[in-house]
Amino acid sequence: MTTLPPDHSGRSTRRDFLGDLGSLAALATLTPAVAAQTLSPNAAGCLLTPAATEGPFYLNDAQLRSDIRDGRPGQPLRLRLFVVDADHGCTPVQGALVSIWHCDAEGSYSGEDGPRDATRFLRGVQPTAADGAAAFVTIYPGWYRPRAVHIHFKVLLANAEVLTSQLYFSDALNREVLGSHPAYRARGVPTRDNAQDPIAGGQPPLVHVRTGPERLDGDFIVGIARGGAQRAGVRSFL
């Protein structure tokens, strides 16, 4: 097992986070346009993936593991993030660390209750392979007001953070999964679409999802500027 480098950005509570959404929405306008997702890591002309706020629920002790479910109920999802160098022809970046975290079917994060909460469900870290891919086995995220369905992620190179951002799913898929799977029925479908999310922006980065016999398979190409930490956007105060 391994852990990520210490987080020096400062932590905030859910209440503080929700109270500052107006400021976060203003920050989102400063990030670059979302990259076109061709799902071909070697595609020409890819762009930097837009940076987004880390949010208050990041923990720096996520384990090095691919299956992050820890028994949490929900629609099975395999998520692959392909990290590519957007400045050099979208060449795959091997050896980067990708950390993801998201809420469960009921809209809760592990570790939300403070340091005494030792659970770390739906959090994990994976290194990228030769093709730039880091793969995770998880569940489809739930939701909480006033956010749309989303997944947080970080990309680190040599223990330096090069990108923090968030991923989204199509509104139609959110309604289909959360409206039909029993784990989400108590909470129901999201009250906000992506366009109404205070952080997603007008063109949110969408995961490309395929339906399999036992799970959903989601892919996303993450375009980074390999030589410049945080070059892809503005770091939030949270």
End-to-end CA gap in the chain: 27
In a domain, 4, yes or no: no
Name the nearest CA neighbour of 141 among 86, 84, 74. Answer: 74
Q: Which of the residue ranges 81-90, 96-105, 123-132 would you say has the lowest mean pLDDT?
A: 81-90
**How far, in Å, are 76, 137, 167, 234 from residue 72 at the CA level?**
10, 12, 20, 33
Question: Per the structure, how many domains does the chain have?
Answer: 1
Range of the domain at 95: 14-224
Residue 231 lies in a domain: no
Within a domain: 7: no
Question: Is 238 inside a domain boundary?
Answer: no
| 101 domain-assigned | yes
Does residue 59 contact residue 123 with C-beta atoms inside 8 Å?
yes
Q: What is the pLDDT of residue 17?
A: 37
pTM, 2 dp:
0.79
Q: Is 97 part of a structural domain of the chain?
A: yes
Determine, yes or no, domain membership for 32: yes
**What is the percent of the chain with per-residue pLDDT over 90, rounded to a whole number?**
64
Q: In CATH, what number is assigned to the domain containing residue 203? A: 2.60.130.10
